[in-house]
Amino acid sequence: MQSYKDLEIYKLAHKIAVDIHNISLTLPSFEMYEEGSQIRRASKAISANIVEGFGRKRYRQDYIRFLVYAHSSCDETKEHLECLFETKSLKDNKIFEDLMEELDKLSKKMNKFIQAVDAGV
């Protein structure tokens, strides 16, 4: 692997971050700087931590640590998304379900990737 951009988990995380950023800009104004800001930061932290971990890949434990941070940010993003949906700040059921599905898929892929890195594969 030449670059973090070759990683499937990075590609998916980056796409999710861009999608969430764009969706967050359509939230009601009172959410724009509260929950909107939180979900933008959490979603962007997923790919950012994957990138930082990749830069430290020669130190396996550092790499794993940043992948775990990325996985935690994925879970945090899901929580913010659920809150937005349940409070009806995000009203589009399809957008909510599609994003949750993508986040679930990313979470599973990240678990497998962390296991592979931990095993030295």
- pLDDT tens-digit map of 82-119: 999 999 999 999 999 999 999 999 999 999 999 999 99
Q: Is the torsion defined by CA of 76, 82, 87, 91 positive or negative?
A: positive
Residue bearing tokens 């994925």: 74
Nearest partner of 24 among 37, 14, 41, 13, judged by Cα = 37
Q: What is the DSSP letter of 6?
A: G
Output the CA torsion 65→50→72→82 (10° steps): 180
The average confidence (pLDDT) of the chain is 95
For residue 33, name the pLDDT band (cuts at 50, 70, 90): confident
Is residue 3 helix, strand or coil? Answer: coil
- CATH H-level superfamily of 4-116: 23S rRNA-intervening sequence (1.20.1440.60)
> pTM above 0.75?
yes
